[in-house]
Amino acid sequence: MRKLAILTIASIFLMSCGGDKAKNEQDFSKPDAEETAASPSDYDPKRGEGKYDKVDLGASLDQAMADKGEDVAGVKCLSCHKVTDEKLVGPGWKGVTERRRPEWVMNFITNPDPMIDKDPEVQAQLEICLVRMPNQGLNDEEARNILEYMRKIDGVK
């Protein structure tokens, strides 16, 4: 009798978890809206992908921002990047602000995954470094400070 009661309870439990089949099944044959929203052909290699369309830099270095950026980079970035052009885990930072527009740098710092997936130069770099840059969850101010620190590395006075 006890086995029958346990079997009955288990059956009721399993049937109650089933729910509406149409609601529980997802059609994986169609890409999500997020996947179809932007394809590599829509990618702008000059600005990258993210919310930054225009980043205004001062003509001269903002030393206070660069100092804050150095502090953040010391915690979040410099275990993988050197401030020279030498590769560590990731590429060195020397010359980044001369090769890339500020919008691209800010978008990559704050939104690396879609850029790694779409930017041919980043993909080529990934083949050399073999490690994807993780999203460090930096806020806008931290990212801007790191950009200013990169400008300092590149000799902006």
CA angle 143, 146, 152 (to 5 degrees): 150
**Mean pLDDT over residues 51-71, rounded?**
95
Q: What pLDDT shows up at residue 16? A: 46
- The structural domains of the chain, with segments of one domain joined by +, span 43-153
Q: What pLDDT shows up at residue 141? A: 97
Q: Measuring CA to CA, which residue among 134, 157, 150, 146 is closest to residue 84?
A: 150
Cut 0.85: pTM above it: no
Q: What is the tens place of the pLDDT at every residue in 94-145?
A: 999 999 999 999 999 999 999 999 999 999 999 999 999 999 999 999 999 9
Q: What pLDDT shows up at residue 38? A: 45
Report the sign of the C-alpha dihedral through residues 101, 107, 109, 113, in that order: negative
* CA 48 – CA 114 distance, rounded (Å): 9
**Mean pLDDT over residues 36-60, rounded?**
80
Residues in the chain: 157
Report the sign of the C-alpha dihedral through residues 104, 109, 111, 113, in that order: positive
Indicate the range of 11-15, 28-32, 120-124 predicted with least confidence. Answer: 28-32
Place of tokens 């275990």: 79
DSSP 16: H
Question: For the domain bounded by 43-153, which CATH number is listed?
Answer: 1.10.760.10
